[in-house]
Amino acid sequence: MTKALIVYVTASSRKEADKIAQALVAEKLAACVTIVPEVFSRYRWKGRIEKAKELLLILKTSPRRYPALEKRLRQLHSYDVPEIIAVPVEKGNKKYIRWLNDSVNA
């Protein structure tokens, strides 16, 4: 397994997605944030089934930086319970993984 994580986060607007992406990269908590526009979510919230148009953020970081990244996401995010899901990278381009780790661990 490589020393990298992919973190999925949804955001309510382009403005919020841009704010989160800019802060996390600037603070070296994420090496890269890819913003996927207009995803459609359906979920249960407070006993009701809801639907929303959201943006999906795909963050690349290291396991070492994850605790600080999650804490900062909670500060930046407008949701009471933001979706923050981290998945380990099992394999990947070694040069990309090295760049990712150098970017967040510098």
Show the domains of the chain with their CATH numbers. 5-105 (3.30.70.120)
Tell me, what's the pLDDT at 105? 85
Tens digit of pLDDT at every position of the chain (106 positions): 578 999 999 999 999 999 999 999 999 999 999 999 999 999 999 999 999 999 999 999 999 999 999 999 999 999 999 999 999 999 999 999 999 999 998 5
pLDDT at 33: 98
Alpha helices in the chain (DSSP H): 14-26, 66-76, 94-105
- Nearest Cα residue to 89 out of 98, 80, 81: 98
Question: Which pLDDT belongs to residue 1?
Answer: 57
Dihedral, CA of residue 53, residue 58, residue 64 and residue 65, to nearest 10: -60
